[in-house]
Amino acid sequence: MSYQQLQQHFLKISHLQHLAAICSWDQAAMMPEGGNDARSAAMAELSVLVHQQTTASHLGEWLIAAGQENLSADERASLDAIKRRWKQATQLPGDLVQAQSLANSACEHAWREQRKNNDWESFKPNLAKVIELVREEARIRAADAGLRPYDAMLELYEPGMTSAKLDVLFADVKTWLPEFIMRADELQANNNVIAPVGPFVIEQQKELGLAAMKLLGFDFTHGRLDVSTHPFCGGVPTDVRITTRYDEGDFMKALFGVIHETGHARYEQNLPKAWSGLPVGEARSTGIHESQSLFFEMQLARSAEFTQLLAPLARNILQREQDVAFTTENLYAFNTRMKRGYIRVDADELTYPAHVILRYEIERALVDGDIEVDDIPALWNEKMQAYLGLSTEGNYRDGCMQDIHWPCGAFGYFPSYTLGAMYAAQEFSAAQRSIPQLAQKIAQGDLAPLFNWLQKNIWSQGSLLSTDELIIAATGEPLNAHFFKTHLQRRYLGEA
């Protein structure tokens, strides 16, 4: 009886979260400039209401009583997920939740223009307020869970992961990544790759993105594509909202941005319907979520086999039938080249881990109180030069102001990107072992076996299993960075 009461209560909460998700999408994609203050106040009020419902005093009693009931294994997993959500919510006072909602909205909204204007001085006080509140949150959560402050924030996104574990993983990557980048540079020096030259009509780019989404199985009856400053996947499983941004000089940015977000969206659209609206029916972690977007974008879409599908679409829709840059061979070489750059979202998969490790090291130090906001630009520049040989001195727009995560208060999120890349490589390797002649199937446009594998092993599982249990069940072993390293060696260094 208590378990059923908990289910009904959290289903009601999911309805409020549904509204919050759509309002958030609208704020980023469609809302006129003048609506921000009122929208931020409304969303802050909604966040308080959700917090009050999630921390209702009687839930603790229901949780204890439900724990003594005769539940199935799946119901037990559902109860554990509800308890984890309740515990995380009850750690924070309502006034802190409201203050964070207001500070994050104000910082993120102002960041849009401040980034364009390279205006670090105006951005800095807003970010300082966000970090002040994040530190308070981290201190409270850490004290309750017996963790370091940053680890307490990391737990929100990647349950079971710690900075100690990340330090081991990332230290290993840093031992071989610089050599891989250097060798890829040398190998590509002799490649005759032709860059597609614009302008590329925005409407045609949109048509190409929609065609790629259709090819990848996106359900347009439960989602849509729009434009925002920073591409993202939002909404809810029954109404997934993905966004991109277009550049007339480079159609690849939008195209692969759409493919990336489609990976997120397909995961959301295929989460277990039986557990819809409950914590156990949600994605397991941000790392697993990122594994789906990177599975689509990196493992699948940039493969030689998928390029055989993508190249004809691009030639036809962008009207480049006679353009030598649009041959299948050239597009594959172009989309798998390595280039050191400033922008994380535009980075190739070989240099991408350097961008993530840089952010992880800075945000960990920020949350733990080892550095202050004033230290960020110099530290960012130092690490960019050390990891990628690039200077960002005075270039805040393409440096420490480029991401939406910190303005929104999402500290502890960045490691998920490289964890996701590692999970994706391991998952794709397992799918290759499981599906006969997978490469040929992809080249022929038969993607159903691959999507069925993801549906069975990842999407349909929601949060019924822990992250380790999920990966072991899907691939036969816990997370092993060897698969990611091997993938990069094959694609960028030509090593078997």
The size of the chain, in residues, is 496
As a whole number of angstroms, the distance between CA 102 and CA 454 comes to: 38
Return the SS3 of 445.
coil
- Contacts of residue 11, defined as CB under 8 A and 6 or more positions apart, other chains included, come to 277, 278
- Point out the catalytic residue in the list 108, 137, 158, 261: 261
Fold classification of 158-496 is Neurolysin; domain 3 (1.10.1370)
Can you read off the two tokens belonging to residue 280? Answer: 């156990």
* Among 417, 429, 416, residue whose Cα is nearest residue 490: 429
221 CB burial (10 A radius; 0-12, 13-18, 19+): exposed
Which residue carries 């037990």 as its tokens?
Answer: 76
pTM (two decimals): 0.91
Known catalytic membership, residue 261? yes
Residue 93 CA: distances (Å) to CA of 97, 233, 272, 362, 455: 7, 29, 32, 27, 38
User: Tens digit of pLDDT per residue, the chain (496 long)?
Assistant: 799 999 999 999 999 999 999 999 999 899 998 999 999 899 989 988 998 999 998 999 999 999 999 999 999 999 999 999 999 999 988 899 889 989 999 999 999 999 999 999 999 999 999 999 999 999 999 999 999 999 999 999 999 999 999 999 999 999 999 999 999 999 998 888 999 999 999 999 999 999 999 999 999 999 999 998 778 999 999 999 999 999 999 999 999 999 999 999 999 999 999 999 999 999 999 999 999 999 999 999 999 999 999 999 999 999 999 999 999 999 999 999 999 999 998 899 999 999 999 999 999 999 999 999 999 999 999 999 999 999 999 999 999 999 999 999 999 999 999 999 999 999 999 999 999 999 999 999 999 999 999 999 999 999 999 999 999 999 999 999 999 999 999 999 988 6
Cα atoms in the 13 Å half-sphere on the side-chain side of 254 = 27
